[in-house]
């Protein structure tokens, strides 16, 4: 219990005691000391003080624990966002040209792996609070991640058609259309992750 909480409890007790004295027929103005107590008033005062301590200590701790739990989930979602930002930056900076293909494949793999482990963690530890909603997002993101993987790695096998991705010495050149697809896919996933973060915050 921090100093501020202790001060609030003491201050509340003083106010309650003052109110009780004032309510006792204003006897303090007559400078009389009445040592006769109404047992009901005493019990009421004790219960009120106990409730004040409970609210300030127990419930405050519960709120803090809940906030810490949410922050942990949000931080884990932030890991996925960080990888997506790195991928997004690569395509924006180089406009889809001369991109390290091994790094692209590595980032895509990390995104899917992190998403699976993070969603599993949240589903197992959120005590069922958002499991139904989160499961829906999980299914949607599976499709989104599959599309992103295809945009990043899949190209035409036909020799007559222009290739969406050309790789030479690990340097990948993406067509303008494919670059747009990649960036759109990243943006769509980012929006879904933002919705999930809002969902977690409402827990």
Tell me the two tokens of residue 115: 């998403």
- Give dist(CA 192, CA 142) in Å, integer: 11
Torsion of CA 65, 67, 70, 75, to 10 degrees: -110
Q: Is residue 3 part of a domain?
A: no
Return the closest-CA partner of residue 91 out of 81, 101, 82.
Answer: 101
Residue 36: per-residue pLDDT = 61
Q: Is residue 157 part of a domain?
A: yes
Q: Is residue 64 part of a domain?
A: no
Residue 28 — very low, low, confident or very high, per pLDDT cuts 50/70/90? very low
Judge contact between 76 and 196, C-beta under 8 A. Answer: no
Q: Is residue 13 part of a domain?
A: no
Q: Is residue 47 part of a domain?
A: no
Q: Is residue 2 part of a domain?
A: no
Q: What Cα–Cα distance (Å) separates residue 36 from each residue in 27, 32, 33, 46?
A: 12, 12, 9, 17
Q: Is residue 106 part of a domain?
A: yes
Task: Give the domain range for residue 96.
Answer: 72-201
pLDDT tens profile 170-187: 999 999 999 999 999 999
- Give dist(CA 98, CA 163) in Å, integer: 15
Q: Taking the CA of residue 41 as centre, how many other CA atoms within 13 Å lie in the half-sphere pointing to its CB?
A: 10
pLDDT tens profile 34-81: 556 567 666 777 777 777 776 666 666 666 767 788 888 889 899 999
pLDDT tens profile 96-132: 999 999 999 999 999 989 888 888 888 887 777 788 8
Of residues 50 and 135, which shows the higher confidence score? 135
Q: Is residue 105 part of a domain?
A: yes
């Amino acid at each position: 219990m921090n100093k501020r909480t202790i001060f609030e409890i003491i201050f509340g007790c003083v106010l309650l005691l003052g109110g009780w004295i004032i309510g006792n027929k204003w006897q303090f103005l007559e400078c009389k000391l009445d040592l006769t107590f109404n047992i009901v008033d005493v019990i009421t005062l004790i219960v009120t003080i106990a409730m004040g301590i409970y609210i300030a200590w127990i419930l405050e701790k519960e709120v803090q624990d809940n906030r810490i739990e949410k922050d942990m989930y949000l931080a884990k979602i932030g890991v996925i966002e960080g990888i997506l930002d790195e991928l997004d930056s690569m395509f924006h900076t180089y406009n889809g040209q001369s991109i390290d293909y091994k790094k692209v494949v590595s980032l895509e793999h990390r995104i899917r792996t992190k998403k699976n482990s993070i969603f599993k963690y949240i589903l197992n530890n959120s005590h069922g609070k958002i499991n139904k909603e989160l499961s829906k997002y999980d299914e949607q993101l599976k499709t989104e991640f599959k599309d992103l993987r295809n945009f990043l790695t899949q190209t035409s096998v036909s020799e007559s058609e222009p290739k969406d991705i050309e790789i030479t010495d690990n340097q990948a050149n993406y067509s303008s259309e494919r670059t747009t697809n990649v960036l759109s896919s990243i943006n769509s996933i980012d929006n879904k992750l933002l919705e999930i973060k809002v969902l977690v915050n409402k827990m």
